[in-house]
Structure 1
Amino acid sequence: MGVEPWRWDEDVWRGHVEHVRAGRSLRPARWPGGAKVAVALSFDSDHETLPLRDGDVLPGKLAQGEYGARVGVPRVLRLLERYGAPASFFVPAVSALLHDGEVKSYVDAGHEVGLHGWIHERNTALTPAEERDLAFRAADVLERLAGTRPVGIRTPSWDFSAHTLAITRELGLRYDSSLMADDDCYELVENGEPTGVVELPVEWIRDDAPYFVMDRFTSSRPYTPPRGVLSIWQDEFDLAYAEGGMFQLTMHPHIIGHRSRIAVLTELLDHISGHEGVWFATHAQIVDHVVEAAEA
């Protein structure tokens, strides 16, 4: 057993904190075309990989995931087309391999495809070599299916190990979208060194899973009605708009794709589109803009 944290010397606790840290803010002075806010919609197409990751191979949980590919994705794509809103889809390689043509459908509709692990593995449970191997294998699969190599990563379950940033840099990725140190983009710093990797931050508040996941064998139970979630997300957008910042949202086709929830997403997009000066963009497009603005 290691030394209790309250016994750590300052260099120990400070070293842990400063290993991966938020660096300079990359919030731009203006958005393209004079827009007042950037809207970054994203979908994690986990599908069957959530139960598969845990060795659950029985039909029940697999069917919940299959719903995402069979029903959720088509609904989401139709909705995005209706609003002319490009989005980012973060796809585990196993999901991409299970559902032939799905990744291509994202690309054909003008959306971004980003890394999301091999089988939605937990990075912090892996050795550095295992994490690296799965990340590179996943990048190869998505490059083959999408026609272009991913430029961004979202770690499965936002599980960021002590080695994730080094692997991200070795992959040559432009950005990560797994951490939560700001509302707007910032540069990641590793052990005091600016990395050039942009963080496009997430937050559980702006994720559908905490509000809607149901598991009959655990304490996971939906506790907020869909329109209660709509109110939270509208408030998040409204302040982002007032501040001239970014509104980022993380969703899952097998969760948000259900009827009562796609209705809420529709209402949210109606609310957003009712404002002047809204820039809908993929995560990669936002990262490109904030980097260009910082270098100008």
Structure 2
Amino acid sequence: MTSPQQPQPWQWDEPTWRGHVERIRAGRSLRPSSWPGGARVAVALSFDSDHETPTLRDGEVLPGKLSQGEYGARVGVPRILRLLDRYAAPSTFFVPAVSALLHEGEVKSYVDNGHEVALHGWIHERNTLLDEQSERDLTVRAADTLEQLAGVRPVGIRTPSWDFSLSTLRIIRELGLRYDSSLMADDEPYELLADGEPTGVVELPVEWIRDDAPYFMMDRHTALRPYTPPRGVLSIWRDEFDLARAEGGLFQLTMHPHVIGHRSRIAVLTELLDHIAASSDVWFATHAQIVDHVLADGGIS
């Protein structure tokens, strides 16, 4: 006996398509009335210290691709830390636990330099393909590992897939995490809703426009190429910052040490930070500091 065919999307009734959309939704905006110190704009720089983990996740164990990831830890991270120190720019590092274990002392160096360490999976797993128990076990293990190595328990997460499974938000709430930075429903912070109900979890939204990987990644066996010149990316990011400042909002940026850490690309980040720092009304902050401020400003009780 054959099983009945599942309805196609155009055959769904309203409760079905509406239920998919409403499962995880943007709630009230948490854009604050002002930023600390009279700042006009908040700048939240973040770095996903993936290093070798995406390669390992895919079962690729030859040294070529692994060495690309190693570059991020060996060269990219020191360059980034020196640059952030120059601009006194506290930032957030989202770190897969396996990356932290592979590179002894790295996550502690983030904390010691005034930065935040946050969750980014165990081995950069595709969390949307996992069953609930596996996703929970890996997330808990990652949180425990980062706490042990950094000396501070993470309060935020960026999922490795930049997406939620049906279980992700439930796991985030079980762990008592204060924020997520994986979704894209706004430019400004907002509260996550689950089936229409407020969750108390703050979303600091990302966007592929404000991520170095789509512009600079390369794969020799596919059509993936860095088609955009580095200073073309600088122009995009500078425009994103300028309008965020004009609107009195948040400028959030995602980068990867093994991507942005190369010479021609760290030059772009340096020019961007020069442009940002030329304004006297900028607040550089970690993601956790942004969350603290928007809640204190009158956000979620």
1:157 offset after TM fit, Å? 3.0
Q: Does 1:44 align with 2:48?
A: yes
Give secondary structure in 1 for the equivalent of 2:291.
helix
Of 141, 144, 159 in structure 2, the residue corresponding to residue 140 of structure 1 is 144
1:48 offset after TM fit, Å? 0.2
Of 167, 173, 183 in structure 2, the residue corresponding to residue 163 of structure 1 is 167
Give secondary structure in 2 for the equivalent of 1:52.
helix
1:197 offset after TM fit, Å? 0.2
Alpha-carbon distance in structure 2 between the residues aligned to 1:61 and 1:135: 25
Q: Work out whether residues 38 and 245 of structure 1, in 8 Å CA contact, stay in contact via their aligned partners in 2.
A: yes
Q: Does 1:28 align with 2:35?
A: no
Q: Which aligned segments of 4 or more residues in structure 1 are displaced greater than 6 angstroms?
A: none
Q: What residue in structure 1 maps to residue 209 of structure 2?
A: 205
Q: What residue in structure 1 maps to residue 240 of structure 2?
A: 236
Alpha-carbon distance in structure 1 between the residues aligned to 2:275 and 2:8: 49
> Share of identical aligned residues, percent?
79
Q: Does 1:2 align with 2:36?
A: no
Give secondary structure in 1 for the equivalent of 2:165.
coil
The amino acid across from 1:67 in the alignment is Y
Give secondary structure in 2 for the equivalent of 1:181.
coil
* Aligned length, in residue pairs: 296
Of 6, 12, 20 in structure 1, the residue corresponding to residue 16 of structure 2 is 12
1:194 offset after TM fit, Å? 0.1
Q: Does 1:88 align with 2:100?
A: no
Q: What residue in structure 1 maps to residue 257 of structure 2?
A: 253
1:159 offset after TM fit, Å? 2.8
Q: Work out whether residues 122 and 159 of structure 1, in 8 Å CA contact, stay in contact via their aligned partners in 2.
A: no
1:2 offset after TM fit, Å? 2.4
> How do 1:92-103 residues align onto structure 2 when only pairs under 5 Å count?
92-103=96-107
TM-score, with normalisation over the residues of structure 2? 0.97
Alpha-carbon distance in structure 2 between the residues aligned to 1:157 and 1:279: 29
Give secondary structure in 2 for the equivalent of 1:198.
strand
Alpha-carbon distance in structure 2 between the residues aligned to 1:25 and 1:138: 30
> How do 1:182-201 residues align onto structure 2 when only pairs under 5 Å count?
182-201=186-205
Alpha-carbon distance in structure 2 between the residues aligned to 1:99 and 1:20: 35
Q: What residue in structure 2 maps to residue 223 of structure 1?
A: 227
Give secondary structure in 1 for the equivalent of 2:298.
helix
Q: What residue in structure 2 maps to residue 117 of structure 1?
A: 121
Alpha-carbon distance in structure 1 between the residues aligned to 2:6 and 2:67: 42
Q: Work out whether residues 118 and 137 of structure 1, in 8 Å CA contact, stay in contact via their aligned partners in 2.
A: yes
1:162 offset after TM fit, Å? 1.4
Give secondary structure in 2 for the equivalent of 1:222.
coil
Give secondary structure in 2 for the equivalent of 1:217.
coil
Residue segments in structure 1 that go unaligned for 5+ positions in a row: none
Residue by residue, what CA displacement relative to the aligned partner does 1:142-178 show, whole Å, maximum 9, x if unpaired? 0101111100000003132111111000010000000
Alpha-carbon distance in structure 2 between the residues aligned to 1:49 and 1:19: 30
Give secondary structure in 2 for the equivalent of 1:94.
helix
The amino acid across from 1:121 in the alignment is E
1:3 offset after TM fit, Å? 1.4
Q: What residue in structure 2 maps to residue 130 of structure 1?
A: 134
Q: Work out whether residues 127 and 161 of structure 2, in 8 Å CA contact, stay in contact via their aligned partners in 1.
A: no
Residue by residue, what CA displacement relative to the aligned partner does 1:236-295 show, whole Å, maximum 9, x if unpaired? 000000000000000000000000000000000000000121000000000000011125
Q: Work out whether residues 128 and 161 of structure 2, in 8 Å CA contact, stay in contact via their aligned partners in 1.
A: no
The amino acid across from 1:22 in the alignment is A
1:192 offset after TM fit, Å? 1.1
Alpha-carbon distance in structure 2 between the residues aligned to 1:107 and 1:276: 26
Q: Does 1:264 align with 2:268?
A: yes
Alpha-carbon distance in structure 2 between the residues aligned to 1:218 and 1:189: 38
TM-score, with normalisation over the residues of structure 1? 0.99
Alpha-carbon distance in structure 1 between the residues aligned to 2:240 and 2:107: 30
The amino acid across from 2:166 in the alignment is A
The amino acid across from 1:84 in the alignment is A
Alpha-carbon distance in structure 2 between the residues aligned to 1:32 and 1:157: 32
Alpha-carbon distance in structure 1 between the residues aligned to 2:127 and 2:251: 27
